[in-house]
Chains A and B, each alone.
Chain A
Amino acid sequence: MYNGGKIIAGLIIFFGLVTFPFYSNFGKTANKVTPKLDTPVINQLEKKECVKPKEYMRTEHMKVLDEWRDEVVREGKRDKMIVGGIEIEKSLQNGCLKCHSNVKTFCDVCHTSSGVKPYCWDCHFIKEEGLL
């Protein structure tokens, strides 16, 4: 008794699962998503810069926010910063979003594409401000 049929069926199912990413993307091309920097505030900045260098912000922005939160909420250090010629607070809404007022085309493009669900918006209601 070989049970060849069952073995082949099992292999097909297994290969089907393993190669799922390949055939489900068949014919598609990979596009790198790019967050948009085209907002009125950014466009008017004297100097196109962020609180930290771009490469650092790409990977560590969540850490910056985390640190800010601790400094502001726990240690009461609310000192403001001048970035690109404008004053911002250590704050998501009164800091980051001042320039990056395009949450959908700045934050969300990468987050959605990478399956990242930051829980920023669990507390920060930004709907009424028209950012979402």
Chain B
Amino acid sequence: MGIFFSFSMIIALVVIAFAGVQLANMQFIFGVVIPYAAIATFLIGVGFRVYKWGRSPVPFRIPTTCGQQKSLPWIKHSRFENPDSTFDVVVRMALEVFLFRTLFRNLKAETREGRVAYGSDKWLWLAGLALHVTFFVVLLRHLRFFMEPVPFFVNLTDSLDGFMQVGTPHLLITGVVLLLAAVYLFFRRISIPQVRYISLPADYFPLFLIMSIAISGILMRYFTKVDLVRIKALTMGLVTIGPVETDGIGAIFFVHIFLISILLAYFPFSKLMHMGGVFLSPTRNMANNSRIKRHINPWNYPVKVHTYEEYEEEFRDKMKSVGLPLEKE
């Protein structure tokens, strides 16, 4: 159900962009207006979403501790699994953000003959990391369309990415890996019954979107080629907020940039916000030092308590009978 819905959405988006350019000559809308609107939505949306998170305080210090606490000096402290200082927290977060440390821990539990057995299961980690790293590299490579002259690190990335020197123009590995990773994650989602059961349209849609972006990009680079010089003129026009010409650019480019615009605009309203969320997760970004330093809850309020006086009042005779010391005889 969710798959069909999401897939039809993507097809509709592709058709809209294609028809809009081919039939209605709306190059300017798809190449200029929508990208600007999308980037604005992205920036404002992400900002607002993070602001909304930031508005809620973290009342308690609740790190999930995944290693030995710092206690007696002769007990080996597991610094980055159970950090007690800001530096250690930064390392823990860096491992999480750059290497997906937690997913690396993943296990698979199987119940056989009345026993539970566990095996390492790192495919999700591998595919997840591949998707995110290649996405980042692809973004970095695309800076060549937005910088004049092209900075050395972009050229370097391109050379490294195309080091196999296969084909003309040479094959860039990251684009292919990005697509494969997205495809794997899709098949994982539908082939594991539990994961399929929990999946919503909002889980398939971003995957299809990323796949369609990667496919349109690959098509453009290797198959139905487009005029890069004109595209660069357009993209530079966009980032310099200057005049933009859209003539002579193939429709597929507009499909590509439209899908990216959709991704940008969809981002702040979706689960894709996990990108910002991972930094704010209180179970990961806090030091386990609440026995050392008091954590302040900004909305801590006085509560009704049962005082010792009330307690003694109720049990005075019983306390007296067993010789317990009393405040009031």
Contacts and interface: CB of A to CB of B under 8 A. Distances in A.
Direct contact of A and B (CB under 8 A): yes
Given A21-B147, A25-B148, A66 B168 contact: yes
Contact of B158 (A14, A60, A115): A115
Contacts of A63: 168, 225
A115 B165 contact: no
Given A33-B229, A63-B168, A66-B168, A117 B237 contact: no
A4 B54 contact: yes
Interface in A47-81: 55, 58-60, 62-63, 65-66
Contacts of A125: none
Interface string B133-164: 00000000101111111100011001100000
Given A65-B168, A119-B165, A11 B50 contact: yes
A10 B49 CA distance: 13
B226 interface: yes
A112 B150 contact: yes
Contact of B58 (A1, A25, A33): A1
A3 B229 contact: no
A110 B229 contact: yes
Q: Which of A1, A2, A3, A62 has the most CB of B within 10 A?
A: A1
Q: Which of A32, A65, A110 has the most CB of B within 10 A?
A: A32
A55 B229 CA distance: 12
Interface in B26-58: 42-43, 46-47, 50, 53-55, 57-58
Interface string A30-41: 111100000000
Given A10-B279, A30-B236, A30-B240, A115 B225 contact: no
A7 interface: yes
B196 interface: no
Given A1-B295, A113-B150, A115-B144, A7 B54 contact: yes
Contacts of B276: 10, 14
Contact of B143 (A21, A60, A62, A117): A21
A11 to B, nearest CB: 6
A127 interface: no
B158 A59 contact: no
A8 to B, nearest CB: 8
Contacts of B170: 119
B188 interface: no
B232 interface: yes
A61 to B, nearest CB: 10
User: Which 4 pairs from chain A and chain B are nearest by CB?
Assistant: A115-B144, A30-B236, A21-B146, A59-B225
Given A25-B147, A30-B236, 5 more contacts: A11-B46, A26-B240, A31-B233, A115-B144, A119-B165
17 contacts: A1-B59, A1-B296, A7-B54, A10-B276, A18-B43, A22-B239, A25-B148, A28-B240, A29-B242, A31-B148, A32-B230, A58-B229, A63-B168, A110-B228, A113-B232, A114-B232, A116-B169
